[in-house]
Structure 1
Amino acid sequence: MKFMLIMRATDEAWAAAADIDFNEMLETMGKFNDELISAGVLVAAEGLDDAAQGVVVDYSSETPVVTDGPYGETKELFGGFYILNVASKEEAIEWAKRMPVVVPGTKTEIRRVPSIDEFPQDNVWVVKERAWREATGQV
C-alpha cells in the first residue's frame, strides 16, 4: 500500500527554519531518506518551494480564479512530502514517528494513495491510465 506523508509547518516553524544551517538540515534529512531507501519503502520524496511563490486556482466560480500565494490561511502550509510503499497504515505511522523534526511546530499528515486496481477496470479512462503507467514503467 502506498501512503503519502505530508509535512506541514506553522508560520512560526517556517520562521525558525530560516535559522537552521542548510547543510545540517540536508544531513539530517539525508540520513532519514537513506533509512527509507535501505528499507525499500521510499517511492518519492520532495520538498516544496516557498508558498509565496505558489498560486491557488479556485474553482468556486464558472471561470477559475488564480490567486498568488501565500494562501489565505497560512497556519499550516505543506512543505514537502514522502510517498512510501509499506504494508499498512501502522507502518507508515511508524516511519512518520521516526522522521527527524528539524523545527518544532511541524506535523506530518498521512494519507493512503489508492491503487489503480481499486477503480473499475472496465472504465475507459482507467484502461487508458493503466496503459500509460505500463508504457512508462510505473506499474
Structure 2
Amino acid sequence: MFYAILAYHVEGAITQLSPEEDAELMKHLININTRLESEGKLGPAARLDFTQSAVTVRGKSNADVFDGPFAETKEQLLGLYILNCASRDEAVAIAQEFKAVNPSATYEIRPISYFAPGVSLAGD
C-alpha cells in the first residue's frame, strides 16, 4: 500500500538554521531517502518552498486566489514523501526514523487510496 508521510515544521525553526546546519539536517534525511530508494519503497519526495511563496485557491468556479499558506497553524507543511509499505506499522517506523534525525518536526502518515504516478516507484 502507498502511504504519504507529510512533514510539518515551524518555518522559523528552519529559516533560522545556518547553511551548515541545514546541510547537516538534509544529509541525514537524504541518507534515509537513499536507503528507502534502494529498498524500492521511496516514491516522489519533495522539500516544499516556504509559505510566503504560496498561494491558496478558494471558492467555486471562479475561485479567488489568496497569498500565503492555506491554514492558520503554528506548523506548516514543508515536505512530503510517498512510500510503498507493506503495512501502516512500516510507514510509522519510517516516519520515526525521520523524526529521530529531525526531532522538532511532526510527521503525519496517511494511506493513499489512489496513486497516479508522476514519478514511478522502484519495482513498478
Number of aligned positions between the proteins: 117
Identity %: 30
Higher helix share: 1
User: Per-residue deviation at 1:50?
Assistant: 0.6
Matched, 1:15 2:16: no
Structure possessing the higher relative contact order (Cα contacts under 8 Å, 6 or more residues apart): 2
RMSD between superposed Cα atoms in Å? 2.5
User: Relative to 1, partners in 2 of residues 1:16 and 1:103: Cα closer, same or farther, differing over 3 Å?
Assistant: farther
Describe the shift of the 1:52–1:137 C-alpha distance in structure 2 as closer, same or farther (beyond 3 A): closer
Aligned runs of 1:19-34 on 2, under 5 Å? Answer: 19-20=17-18, 21-34=21-34
Alpha carbons of structure 1 residues 36 and 70: separation in structure 2 relative to 1, 3 Å:
same
Whole-angstrom CA distance in 2 between matches of 1:66 and 1:80: 22
Q: Which residue is 2:72 aligned to? A: 73
Secondary structure of the corresponding residue to residue 8 of structure 2: strand
What do residues 71-103 of structure 1 show as CA deviations (whole Å, max 9, x unaligned)? 450322100000000111111111111114435
**What TM-score results when the alignment is normalised by the length of structure 2?**
0.80
Equivalent AA in structure 2 for residue 98 of structure 1: E
Runs of 4+ in 1 over 3 A off after TM superposition: 136-139
Greater gyration radius: 1
1:96 aligns to 2:75 (yes or no): no
